[in-house]
Structure 1
Amino acid sequence: MTLNSEVQPLRAWLLLLLLALIWGSSFLLIKKGLLSFTPDQLAAIRIASAGFVLLPFILRRFALVQRHHWPKLICVGLVGSFIPAFLFAFAQTELPSGVTGVLNTFTPLATLIIGVFLFRQRARLQQWLGVIIGLGGTILLVTASTGGGFEFNRYGLLIILATICYGLNLNLIKHHIPDLGALTITGVSLFLVAPPAALYLFFATPFTEQFADPQFAFALTAILILGIIGTAAALIIFNTLVKMTNTTFTSSVTYLIPIVALLLGVLDGEPFLVQHGMGMGAILSGVWIANRRKRKSPAKAGQKF
C-alpha cells in the first residue's frame, strides 16, 4: 500500500488528509469519552449513534439485501464494529491514545494472516517477512515502559484482538458478500447492531443517572463525534475517495492515521518513547513490505491479455 504515483486532483488529497485526521483523532475522542463514561457505555453510544445516523443513506439499499445476506451482515456488524468498539474502549483505560492508534495499524497484517489460515489465500515470502516485522513492532509497543525498560501491557492484546476482528471482517466481506456494495454492507450491518447497543445503554447501564456529572456533556459530545463523524461520515468520505481515485491511493491513509494519533496524543500530554517510534516504524514497514507488489519486467509489462 504505497502512495499512488499518478497525479491525483487536489480534492482527492484534501479528502485523504481529512480522512486521516478523522480516523487518527478517533483514539483521542475515546480517551475524552472515558472521562465520564465507562468503556461499555462509550462503545454502546458509539455504535448506536453511527448505526442510526447512517439509516437515511441506506433505506433504499435494504431492497438489495437478500435472505442469505442477513446472517453474514450480522456477523459483519459484530466483528467489524460492535466487538472492536468495546475492545478499543476497554484497552484505552490503560493505553495512551497514540499507542492505540499505532497498534490499530496491524489490521492489514491481521487480514493477511486470517486470509491465509482461514480462507486459503496464498502468501508470498515477502508478505510473511512483512508480518514478522510488524509483529516485532507490536511487541515493542505493548512492552514500552516510561521507566526505560520493558513492561508487558496486556491491554495492548485487546487492540490486537480488535485488529483480528477487522481482519476477519474484511475477509468475510471479500469472500462471502462480494455482491453487495461497501456502503450497503457497512450501513446495514451497523444498523443491525445499533438497536442492541442502544437497549444495553439505557437498560443495563446507569446512563440516565449520569446527567449531573460535570463532564457528561463534554464526554458525550466526544463520543457522538466519534460515532457520527469518525464512523458514518468517514465511511462516506472513504467510498467517495475510492470512486474518485482507486483503492491503492485510498489505502495510503493507513500510513497517516498513526502519525495523527501520536501527534494528538503528545499534544494532550502523553509520553512519546523511543520504543513507540521504533514500534510504529516497524509496523508501517511491515505493512508496506507485505503489500508491495512485484514490479513486472519490461517484456511482461508490455504484454496485453
Structure 2
Amino acid sequence: MNLSKLIVLAAIWGSSFLFMRVAAHEVAPPFLIALRVGLGALLLVAVALWQRKALDIRAHWKHFLILGLLNTAVPFTLFAFAAQTLPASLMSILNATAPIFGTVISVVWLRTAMTWKSGLGLVLGIAGVAILVGLDTATVSPGILLAVGAGLAAGFLYGLASVYAKQAKSVDGFSNAHGSLWAACLFMFPVAPFYAPAVAVSVPVIWSIVAVGILCSGIAYLLYFNLIDQIGAAPTLSVGFLIPVFGVLWGALILHEPIGLQTVLGGAVVLVGTALITGFNPLAMIRRKPVSIS
C-alpha cells in the first residue's frame, strides 16, 4: 500500500515538469509560479480548516519564510524558466541532483565527512549532467546552458533547504508545507502582476496551471507527509529516484519528447550517483514497517 502511494506521488511530481513545460510558453515564470503556490496554499488551508490544524505563524514565521524562499518560490521559478527551453524529461533528471548538492553543502557547512561512496556519487552526478548537456541532441537549442544552469541552481537550493531543515527548529510536516507555500505567496504575489499575460491564454495552459497548483503542490504535499507518517522520512525521500522515470515517461507519451540514448545514460548515471550519496536501498524501503504515531 505504501509503495503504491510512493509510486503515485512520483507520478504526480513527475508530471509537474510536463505541466510547466506546457504553461511556460504562454505564461511568464513569476506569474506561473504565483498561481501555482497560490492554488496549493488555498488547498492546504482548506484541509487545515477541515482537520482543525492551526498554523503557528507567530512562532515559526522566519522558518516558513526561509523554506518558502529556498524550497519553493525560487526553485519553482527557476524550473519554470528552464521549462521555456528544456524538455520535461531533462528537467526531471536535473531535479534529482538535489541530494548531491545537499551532500556538498553539508560537507562545507556542517563539516561532515565525505565518504568514498559520497565522493564517487558526486563524480558520477557531475558526469551524468555532462552527458545530458553535452551529448543529448534534444537539448541543442538557444539558451540551453542558461536553462540547464537554472535547473541545477534549483537543485542546489533544494539541497540547501534540506540541510537547513536538519538544523532548524522541529516543525511538523504539514505546517512546513502549509507555511512555506504561504511564504512563497508573499515572495511571488508582489512580482507576478508585472508578468501577467498580455493576451488570454489557451485552455491547455489553464488546465496545466490548475494541475500544477492543486495536484502537484497541494495534493502531492498531503500525500508526501502522509507517507512520512507511515514509513518515515528517509524512505519517503526515495521518491526522488522515481520522479525522473515518470518525468521522462510523461514527456514521451504526452509531449512526444524524444528519448535518446544520452538521456537514458545520463539520467541513469545521475541516479546511481544520487543513490550512492543517499545510501538508497529499495529493498529496505519495501520491507520497512509503518512508523507508529502516538
Q: TM-score range by the shorter chain?
A: 0.7 to 0.9
Mapped contact 1:143–1:150 kept (Cα < 8 A):
no
Q: CA deviation at 1:147?
A: 8.3
Q: Distance between the aligned counterparts of 1:148 and 1:190, measured in 2?
A: 31
Shift of the alpha carbon at 1:149?
Answer: 9.3
User: Distance between the aligned counterparts of 1:126 and 1:228, measured in 2?
Assistant: 38
- Given candidates 96, 108, 112, the residue that maps to 2:103 is 112
> SS of the counterpart of 1:290?
helix
Q: Distance in 2 between matches of 1:195 and 1:148?
A: 34
SS in structure 1 at match of 2:113:
coil
Match of 1:187 in 2: 178
The one-character-per-residue Cα deviations of 1:171-208 (angstroms, maximum 9, x if unpaired) are: 1111022x21121122112112214423433x32334x
Give how far 1:123 is off.
2.7
Q: How does 1:62-81 map to 2 (within 5 A)?
A: 62=54, 64-67=56-59, 69-81=60-72
Closer/same/farther in 2, CA of residues 72 and 150 from structure 1, 3 Å limit: same
Partner AA of 2:157 in structure 1: C
Contact preservation (8 Å) 1:15, 1:237: yes
Report what 1:280 is aligned to.
267
Query: 1:289 aligns to what?
Result: 276
| 2:72 aligned partner, one-letter code | S
- For residue 37 of structure 1, report the CA deviation from its aligned partner: 1.2
2:149 is matched with which residue? 157
Shift of 1:135: 1.1
Cα-Cα RMSD? 2.5
Report the Cα distance in structure 1 between the residues aligned to 2:101 and 2:121, rounded to whole angstroms: 11
| 1:228 is the counterpart of 2:208 | no
Task: Report the CA distance shift for 1:293/1:43 in structure 2 as closer, same or farther (over 3 A).
Answer: closer
Percent identity between the two aligned chains: 25
Distance in structure 2 (CA, Å) of the matches to 1:45 and 1:147: 29
Query: Is the CA contact 2:28–2:196 (under 8 Å) kept in the aligned structure 1?
Result: no
In structure 2, the CA distance between the partners of 1:86 and 1:270, relative to structure 1 (3 Å rule), is same
* Pairing of 1:78-227 with structure 2 (within 5 A): 78-146=69-137, 153-177=145-169, 179-201=170-192, 203-207=193-197, 209-211=198-200, 213=201, 215=202, 217-227=203-213
**CA spacing shift, 1:194–1:38, aligned 2, 3 Å:** same
- Report deviation, 1:27: 0.4
1:249, distance to aligned residue in structure 2 (A):
3.1
Aligned residues of 1:58 and 1:184 also touching (Cα < 8 A):
no
Aligned to 2:251: 265
The TM-score, its normalising length taken from structure 2, stands at 0.86
Instruction: Name stretches of at least 5 consecutive residues in structure 1 with no aligned partner.
Output: 1-10, 295-305
Aligned pairs for 1:232-247 (under 5 A) are: 232-247=218-233
For 2:140 and 2:46, the matched residues in 1 are separated by: 51
1:282: how far off?
A: 0.6
Quick one: distance in 1 between partners of 2:215 and 2:139? Answer: 37
CA offsets per residue over residues 269-303 of structure 1, 9 Å max, x none?
21222211111111111111112289xxxxxxxxx
Conservation of the 8 A alpha-carbon contact between 1:143 and 1:153? no
Could you tell me how far 1:88 is from its partner in structure 2?
Answer: 0.3
Kept in 2, the 8 Å contact 1:51–1:193? The answer is no
1:80: how far off?
Answer: 0.5
Structure with higher Rg: it is 1
SS at structure 2 position matched to 1:155? helix
CA contact (8 A) 2:21 2:83 kept: yes
Q: In 1, Cα distance between the equivalents of 2:217 and 2:58? A: 25
Q: Determine the structure 2 residue equivalent to 1:47.
A: 37
Structure 2: how far apart are the matches of 1:176 and 1:188? 14
1 CA distance for matches of 2:269 and 2:6?
23
TM-score of the aligned structures, taking structure 1 as reference length = 0.83
Secondary structure of 1:271's counterpart equals coil
- Report the more deviating stretch, 247-256 or 147-156: 147-156
The one-letter amino acid paired with 2:95 is: N
Given that 2:124 and 2:273 are in contact with CA atoms closer than 8 Å, whether structure 1 keeps it comes out as yes
